[in-house]
Structure 1
Amino acid sequence: AVKEAVFPFARFPGVDPVLSPEMKSTGEVMGVGKTFGEAYGKANEGGSIKLPTSGKALLSVREADKQRIKLVARDLADLGFELFATGGTCDSILSAGVDCVRVNKVMEGRPHIVDMIKNDDFDLIVNTTEGKQAMLDSASIRRAALQHKISYTTTMSGGEAIVMAIQHQGEPMVVSLQELHG
């Protein structure tokens, strides 16, 4: 089982949806499944987050996450996603033998990530950051993703969980609590 907090970000346009200590959820949902991926997918769906099953994924991660993104990229490519990534992330993905298209960070000039998000070019975003400028760019990415209803995560653990959920999508298994604990 996976418990997911529900936050009302959609009601506050322009607010950075990164979680801070003063953020308060408006509720919780629980997803139950035979695997973590199935449970995570159901928890997201219960929180009104529809994970894509295909499309275009944007990957832009901090240096410390370059190794882990290779596996996420390979899994997304195997699922049929077309991959887009910023400079260093793209180099890392290519070094793993996975195709990706290089895109500009916000600070690198137009057209950049936020322009592409506003053009609805992405279905999924995995974006981890470090450093002041990257954090500022990341805030604009999160706001644009929220406004355009694009699934995104700001952690590698979140990216890995999303991949597991997409891999286990299918006909949902519905069971009562009595069946689970009977």
Structure 2
Amino acid sequence: MPIDTSLRKVLVIGSGPIVIGQAAEFDYSGSQACRSLREEGLEVVLINSNPATIMTDPETADRVYIEPLTVEFAERVIAQERPDGLLPTLGGQTGLNLATELAVRGILDKYGVRLLGTPLTAIQAAEDREKFRDLMRQIGEPVPESWIVESMGELRRVAEIAPYPCIVRPAYTLGGTGGGIARNPDELLEIGARGLDLSMRHQIMVERSLLGWKEIEYEVMRDGADNAIVVCNME
């Protein structure tokens, strides 16, 4: 694939603190991305809130900003550096959430910054519980019975009809943060309230539990030309 000559400077979003659900692989992949971009002659700017990483070593990027990974600080960096593109997908859930907020608030358009890698529509389809469920139904993939909840009033109504046990799945959270298994209405109200509070969209999905089923997971990489490789599988 030829290099896009319209790109001269790229802002890379780091993954922030290493925590359960977002571990050192993002530090490694982000560091490699910075090096690869520089090898192609691009100027690389990095924003990351964690100084104790390989990614924030001075030689990794042309400029490194150790700042909170918030919309306000990211906009300051964008205004200062004026990058042509933003690469968020190597920053894990943190990078995806921040890039989504920057796009939705119009900040990327304001400064003429292109979102590189995964398109915004694809990020939203994967992170928004309702959009993901609807997409699975459109392509004929079976999904468990579920309810989308965006307020405590809706949660109370669902608590009266949901089958127990049920699963609470917040949208746009790291490693399932705020989710859990509810075995009765009281637990659903408690877990659901926490999930709504922690979700960037204040959205959770209450889903029929599949406890006891066997789970088989594949990790697959595919490019725009439909070349695919199975990285690993787990049972």
TM-score class, shorter: 0.3 to 0.5
Please identify the structure whose Cα radius of gyration is greater. Answer: 2
TM (norm. structure 1) is 0.43
Structure having the higher helix fraction is: 1
Structure having the higher strand fraction is: 2
TM (norm. structure 2) is 0.35
